[in-house]
Amino acid sequence: MKKLNLKSNMKKSIGVLLTSAAIMAIIPLSASAHCDTMDGPTVVDGKKAMESNNVNYVMKWVAPEYQKEITDKFNLSMKVKDQSPEAKELAEQYFFSEVVRVHRAGEGAPFDGLKPSGTPIDEKVLAADKSIEVGNLSPLEGMTEKEKMPELKERFEKVMSLKDYDVNDLEAGREYIEAYVKFFKFAEGEEEHAAEGAHGEEANNAHATHNAEATHNAEANNGKAAAEAEKTHGEVTFTVKPGDTLWGIGLEFNTTYQEIAKVNNISNPDLIFPGQKFIIPSK
């Protein structure tokens, strides 16, 4: 009986990964941040996490409020990855995509799906990566205006000073990623307008302003997909954005894509379009 239960649970786990991977496959591929690619640093750390069975390799990319969610997804992926080569590939794709999605959500940024290896990356991003690898700014010479070099150098030195952290020291890892993101944004030409340390607050405020019609509490707290929802007469209505899937919307609102499809008479859950409005069933 125990063996039967274990086999049944394993099938259910693989089923979850198959459904999730299938939904991820329909997300359109488009240019985005380099952490969105299979060659990017977030996926590199995801591979280290799965190879060493230590989820802390990716936790520096994850805001504290998402830590349990990523731990659960990691455990699910590790549970099924050794069942077969196909299961391993699905488990990895599922876990990497979820880490990147949650990282982007923490920045108040959209996630359009994980891009394949070889996806073209902005030359400034590649140069910034190379600078960290070689330990100096020579790869970025000629790509940054002279008047901005002192600021770029200051941010680069902050990154290098925090680089050699203990992988199990999550606070140190997140401090490194905060400096890393600020360095990359400046190298790419995305200037910040506030004082030191304001990056995260600005991103959240900008996201909340953009979604002024959304649920107020969700905007203020974390800028997740719930911030795109409108509450009218006790009903929550969600407006679909590019890259959204019913599965992802259901995850954000603690429901299922089947329930959303049922309430909104959606015949094909895989086919939704930006601008559509869906009623979110209450729990």
DSSP 111-136: ---PBPTT----HHHHHHHHHHHHTS
87 within domain boundaries: yes
184 within domain boundaries: yes
Q: Is the domain of 101 the same as that of 157?
A: no
Domain extent for 85 = 2-106
43 within domain boundaries: yes
Q: Is the domain of 267 the same as that of 246?
A: yes
92-106 pLDDT, tens digit per residue, is 989 999 999 988 887
Q: Which residue did the predictor score with more confidence, 74 or 196? A: 74
115 within domain boundaries: no
CB atoms under 10 Å from CB of 116, counted, come to 10
How many percent of the chain have pLDDT more than 70? 72
Q: Which of 205, 272, 220 is nearest to 245 (CA)?
A: 272
pLDDT higher than 90, residue 117? no
**CA count, 13 A, side-chain hemisphere, 85:** 0
Report pLDDT for 234. Answer: 53
- Give how many domains the chain has, as a whole number: 3
CB atoms under 10 Å from CB of 43, counted, come to 24
End-to-end CA distance of the chain: 34
Q: Is the domain of 30 the same as that of 50?
A: yes
Q: Is the domain of 15 the same as that of 40?
A: yes
206 within domain boundaries: no
Of 200, 224, 253, the last residue of a domain is 200
Of 60, 77, 106, the last residue of a domain is 106
Q: Is the domain of 248 the same as that of 156?
A: no
Q: Is the domain of 223 the same as that of 178?
A: no
114 within domain boundaries: no
Residue bearing tokens 């799906």: 113
Report pLDDT for 282. Answer: 77
Alpha helices, DSSP H, located in 189-265: 199-210, 216-221, 246-252, 257-263
Q: What is the mean pLDDT of residues 253-271?
A: 84
CATH of the domain at 256: 3.10.350.10
Rounded to the nearest integer, the mean pLDDT of the chain is 77
CB 115 within 8 A of CB 35: no
Q: Is the domain of 26 the same as that of 61?
A: yes
Q: Is the domain of 192 the same as that of 218?
A: no
Query: Strand order of the sheet with strand 277-280?
Result: 229-232, 235-239, 277-280
pLDDT higher than 80, residue 74? yes
How many percent of the chain have pLDDT more than 90? 35
Per-residue pLDDT band for 270 (boundaries 50, 70, 90) equals confident
Of 42-51, 134-143, 224-233, 261-270, minimum mean pLDDT range: 224-233
Q: What is the mean pLDDT of residues 127-145?
A: 92
Predicted model pTM: 0.59
CB atoms under 10 Å from CB of 70, counted, come to 23
Q: Which of 24, 76, 84, 83 is nearest to 55 (CA)?
A: 76
Enter the tokens of residue 86: 């196909």
Whole-angstrom CA distances from 187 to 53, 69, 203, 216, 220 are 34, 32, 18, 33, 29
128 within domain boundaries: yes
Q: CB neighbours of 264 closer than 8 A, spacing ≥ 6?
A: 278, 279
pLDDT higher than 50, residue 47? yes
pLDDT higher than 50, residue 161? yes
pLDDT higher than 90, residue 44? yes
Report pLDDT for 100. Answer: 92
Of 18-22, 40-44, 162-166, minimum mean pLDDT range: 18-22
Report pLDDT for 15. Answer: 52
pLDDT higher than 90, residue 128? yes
Q: Is the domain of 137 the same as that of 58?
A: no
Q: Which of 100, 98, 99, 104 is nearest to 20 (CA)?
A: 98
CA distance 47 to 125: 21
Per-residue pLDDT band for 247 (boundaries 50, 70, 90) equals confident
Of 75, 106, 137, the last residue of a domain is 106
Q: Is the domain of 92 the same as that of 136?
A: no
